[in-house]
Structure 1
């Protein structure tokens, strides 16, 4: 039985400005305080494949993992725009670290939205904070019905955030609950101790410290209430288990309308990290091939390049946050029965995030071309940021591959003429 609470809006709850959730300013300030530490650790983070235990402890103590976790179960429940802003701030210190944090902490939104009260109580209550990757990249999977649940085996790749995980979440095709029932496409949860983390991450060009290792399950037991039908991936219509339980429409959205926003937040922060590095370069070196010593920062060419990069970086961040705001508005309209959070909205949000990522890529690439040879040598921050952006923008999920689907969904949503 779902315990229902009155719906409350996430808008206007602020102590640092209109619409700002209480406590966000302190979280952003803490992330900014950590920036020098994260930058000093960038090389070591790449080498170990994830951030340090000390950084994990700092995130845990600061509440970074609890931003999307429901207050009912010990979370901060600050909403999607706040989460994106915090991740961008962490990425300004280290993009790999932000990716690992983001994809470990972000899935609290899906647990809080779609799982039953019993499941949420057990999942969030295990350690008081949820750190869980999610992966649909299952290989050699075997899922069998057993009394009270399922036994799940297989290998899931690209489990970003898994090194410090409390749980693992995967997608899979599950047999029906009854013998003759059709198969179900489910999102399932396995607590820590029920899976093996492989030491197989770090071989790609960038985001080497993102902790995107593979996970292996060998007959892991998944109780019935830890597997939910994935009916909310691209569309949702009406209240969800989570929006009813928590009285907050933020737990009534779609996965597709949120997930790429996580990456956009990371890349927006990476763009600002590149701005910082470019400023350091041009304020500490002279223009080459110039008759008189002229600081690069005083030369109009370098000022123009900095101004262009700033504009793109600011726009990337603004798109990311605006996407989070639209997610919450679409979820509210759906939960209140006014208008479904349809596939057209999810797909367009998804593509907005891709546009943000492109602006971030353009920022870093511009600075890379107009820095210096020494600034892009091995071990230098600007080279690392560019490699990180290449890794982010060469995934299978890209605007060129998704734009037609979004256009089709939009056209189908239009009134017939």
Structure 2
């Protein structure tokens, strides 16, 4: 067993409760040894029953149980996208989609957090080489993120200083690094530029504010920083990653690390919703079988009407998966320099459309499942809550991302400067 301490939170902003970080005894993670996606998915499926048993614990804790994190690390699933240079298999984006879906079939929150932790490893592969080595040399490394932030960083000699907050940092209680998306004064000339800053756990506090209706176990809490210095070497520029000009593209000479960040950050988010929908479909099927078996002819006939909902939901879920995997396999091998504005908008459109198809499938099945599923103990209502919360993410909503595609088709400028 390897002891990995976490920093204790001893200060808190007025009126806020800070999350407690316990010192955890954790088995040392291992480097991924998977050569194929199928191998990784098989392991993820083998973990799902254990994850399902711990769902009540995850909801009560409002974060992942330590056992779930240990299982992911021990299985080597976190680093499927890790560069070969650092011992990773460098699997493509479809691996993250398929594995996060398999995990989410057992525990929605674990699938969600995993999809982010895994995609963040791709981002680490875009930092300067010595920064990559610092993170990848520790098999226990876990990286959270914040995209929605407040507080303007100040450019200072050698880097930046930031006092501010970030919101919805999924899985942050277990992480030793944080990536924060921030607008900063441009290095040259006037204006702003978007940078992704890598911050160690010792430099931020966690606010215990994750009280939600769904995805309760993700622990997507607020983080607080007070006058923290972030050296320039621990930052990367969004526009360079979007154009395939990051350190990773030059260092790894790999299609995955030459792909645009627009693709590598949006596609993995869709996997958990796919898994949640599959789990709800399975639960609905089990209830339908039980009610039809041994029923009177009249009741059996009534129940078969609900099976049309089952058939439609199954088709929606299958179609969503096919669309996502097609995009993952296409855009993963497309150099960022060749990706057009329409390509990027299409990816956003497809991710949102597939997610909303899964959400609609879950809602339809919940409506047909019967009144007994309104109780908090019912699996179907929990999955229904999780599906709707996941689908509310900015990168997965239809109105925002559908609009982006429509504007790209009509050659109109985007309404948003950044894709996430």
Match of 1:229 in 2: 237
Asked if the contact 1:368/1:376 (under 8 Å) is kept, the reply is: no
| Pairs within 5 Å for 1:7-406 | 22-112=35-125, 114-125=126-137, 127-139=138-150, 141-176=151-186, 183-203=192-212, 205-232=213-240, 235-236=242-243, 240-286=246-292, 291-292=296-297, 300-331=304-335, 334=336, 340-397=338-395, 398-406=397-405
Q: CA deviation at 1:169?
A: 0.5
Asked if the contact 2:64/2:171 (under 8 Å) is kept, the reply is: no
Unaligned runs of 5+ in 1: 1-20
- What are the Cα deviations for residues 390-411 of structure 1, in whole angstroms up to 9, with x where unaligned? 2123344422123232222234
Asked if the contact 2:152/2:183 (under 8 Å) is kept, the reply is: no
Distance 1:182 1:307, change over 3 A: closer
TM-score scaled to structure 1, two decimals? Answer: 0.84
RMSD between aligned residues = 2.5
Q: CA deviation at 1:105?
A: 2.3
- What are the Cα deviations for residues 331-387 of structure 1, in whole angstroms up to 9, with x where unaligned? 3xx4xxxx6223221111011011111110121112111112113321211101111
Q: CA deviation at 1:65?
A: 0.9
Give the paired residue count: 378
Q: CA deviation at 1:172?
A: 1.4
Q: CA deviation at 1:317?
A: 1.6
Unaligned runs of 5+ in 2: 1-33, 413-420
Distance 1:195 1:24, change over 3 A: same
Distance 1:232 1:284, change over 3 A: farther
Asked if the contact 1:257/1:347 (under 8 Å) is kept, the reply is: no
Asked if the contact 2:292/2:303 (under 8 Å) is kept, the reply is: no
Distance 1:277 1:232, change over 3 A: farther
Q: CA deviation at 1:147?
A: 3.7
- What are the Cα deviations for residues 77-101 of structure 1, in whole angstroms up to 9, with x where unaligned? 1111111110111111111111112
Structure 1 stretches of at least 4 aligned residues deviating more than 6 Å after TM superposition: none
Asked if the contact 1:155/1:216 (under 8 Å) is kept, the reply is: yes
What is the SS of the residue equivalent to 2:52?
helix
Q: CA deviation at 1:327?
A: 1.9
Counterpart Cα distance in 2 of 1:144 and 1:247: 34
Distance 1:128 1:37, change over 3 A: closer
What is the SS of the residue equivalent to 1:394?
coil
Distance 1:25 1:393, change over 3 A: closer
Asked if the contact 1:107/1:133 (under 8 Å) is kept, the reply is: yes
Asked if the contact 1:368/1:386 (under 8 Å) is kept, the reply is: yes
Counterpart Cα distance in 2 of 1:291 and 1:406: 51
- What are the Cα deviations for residues 307-336 of structure 1, in whole angstroms up to 9, with x where unaligned? 2221111112222222211221323xx4xx
Counterpart Cα distance in 2 of 1:260 and 1:382: 27
Counterpart Cα distance in 2 of 1:299 and 1:261: 37
TM-score scaled to structure 2, two decimals? Answer: 0.83
Counterpart Cα distance in 2 of 1:23 and 1:393: 29
**Bigger shift: 314-323 or 84-93?**
314-323
What is the SS of the residue equivalent to 1:389?
helix
Distance 1:182 1:306, change over 3 A: closer
